[in-house]
Structure 1
Amino acid sequence: MTRATLRYVLHRITEHPDTDVTFEAECLWCDWQATPSTDTAAVDVECMSHTGRSGHKSFRRLRTSFAMVVRAE
């Protein structure tokens, strides 16, 4: 009979340090999309400008990041 030793190691998930978070938005009423940016405020301004031009008030906002799992210390 073979015996095994089990060790449990705690892990955590974190944003990958070598990548940027990207923000995007798209109108729920038409095909308009904001230019993806690492600056959330720039995307929000584009959405408000689109609302001013079109009257469309609903947007889907996306935040994209890359993650990695590391051992908790």
Structure 2
Amino acid sequence: MKRRIWRFVDHRIRRHPGTDPTVGARCLKVGCEWEARSGLTLEECDLACLGHCGSTRHDVFERTFTDTAIVECVQ
């Protein structure tokens, strides 16, 4: 007969040290295909969206955030 031993370990997930999130955006105005390239910092993305809005009056954007995460065992 086999025996099983259950071991529970607390884990947490967080942004990987030494990495920064990247941000991208696209205009949601129907027919507009403008996009801020992915890989920008949040500040760079915001400035790109503000610039697009200033020249077109398009004011609704979808922003995407990407980061690298690490799962750690909490002892």
TM bracket, shorter-chain basis? 0.7 to 0.9
Give the alignment partner of residue 35 of structure 2, picking from 30, 33, 36. 33
For 2:71, the equivalent position in structure 1 comes to 69
Instruction: Give the TM-score normalised by the residue count of structure 1.
Output: 0.86
Aligned residues: 72
- For structure 2, list consecutive stretches of 5 or more residues without a partner in the other structure: none
* Residues in 2 aligned to 1:54 and 1:20: alpha-carbon distance in whole angstroms: 30
For 2:53, the equivalent position in structure 1 comes to 51
* Residues in 2 aligned to 1:35 and 1:5: alpha-carbon distance in whole angstroms: 50
* Residues in 1 aligned to 2:13 and 2:59: alpha-carbon distance in whole angstroms: 34
Over the matched positions of the two proteins, sequence identity in percent amounts to 39
Task: Report the structure, 1 or 2, having the larger strand content.
Answer: 2
Runs of 4+ in 1 over 4 A off after TM superposition: none
For 2:21, the equivalent position in structure 1 comes to 21
- For structure 1, list consecutive stretches of 5 or more residues without a partner in the other structure: none
